Amino acid sequence: MGEKIKKKVKTIKIDLEKCNGCRACEVICSAFHASPKYSSNNPARSRVRMIRDPIKDIYVPVYAGEYAPAECMGRDVYVIDGKEYGECDFCRAVCPSRDRFKEPDSGLPLKCDMCEGEEEPLCVKWCITDALTCEEREEEVEEEEKPADMDIALESLVEKHGLEKIADAVARMSKKG
Ligand code: SF4
Ligand code: SF4
């Protein structure tokens, strides 16, 4: 068993009734994570994506979660207040079955980092309807070793292009250096 440590946990509460689908959350998230910061914005690079169907009055902000190397074998349909939501609408996984939460140029997985370094998540700050609100609490958890972001990125590249191609590319790059 690992050691117990105190951890600050931020929760973003999403009120679907208040979301009007303006996509300000996508804009600020992609701008904050642009390189250099705020140099561009492209919702395809955002770590929060809007599932929108204005005809059915459906607006669901979904946050990028864990990388999943394989697609799951099941699908869920939610019916809430008479509105039917799509099979993968609430799912946060970066999964091979779709393009959501993948960096459009490289295909690398994106993950919400709660705007590391910022006092408050920027999507929450920019949501003028208060569909997004943030709460913080302290929890005692067991220390666990998580794979580094670099490992996850490499795993997804190998998944996409195959180990041989990645090894070739690295060998070419090291020769250039
Ligand atoms: S908390 Fe920050 S990183 Fe996460 S989706 Fe919102 S703006 Fe993006
Ligand atoms: S900024 Fe708020 S209201 Fe606008 S799409 Fe995002 S969650 Fe919805």
Q: What is the mean pLDDT of each run of 10 residues along the chain (177 residues)?
A: 82 96 97 95 96 94 96 93 94 94 94 94 98 94 71 74 74 66
What is the domain extent for residue 123?
A: 4-144
User: What is the structure's pLDDT at 176?
Assistant: 58
Residues 111 and 59 in one domain: yes
Please indicate, yes or no, whether residues 30 and 75 belong to a single structural domain of this protein: yes
Q: Are 103 and 64 in contact (CB under 8 A)?
A: no
pLDDT at 84: 95
| Number of folded domains that form the chain | 2
Residue pair 85/144 in contact by the 8 Å Cβ criterion: no
Residues 155 and 127 in one domain: no
**Same domain as 166, residue 132:** no
For atom 2 of ligand 1, the residue with the nearest CA is 115
User: What pLDDT is stored for residue 177 in this prediction?
Assistant: 52
Residue whose CA is closest, atom 1 of ligand 1?
A: 114
pTM for this prediction:
0.81
Helix axes 163-176, 149-161, angle to 10 degrees: 110
Pocket of ligand 1 contains residue 103 by CB under 6 Å = no
Same domain as 129, residue 119: yes
14 ligand 2 Cβ < 6 A: no
pLDDT at 175: 67
Q: Determine which residue's CA is closest to atom 4 belonging to ligand 2.
A: 22
Regarding whether 160 and 110 lie in a shared domain, the answer is no
Q: Which of 53, 157, 165 is nearest to 102 (CA)?
A: 157
**Are 75 and 153 in the same domain?**
no
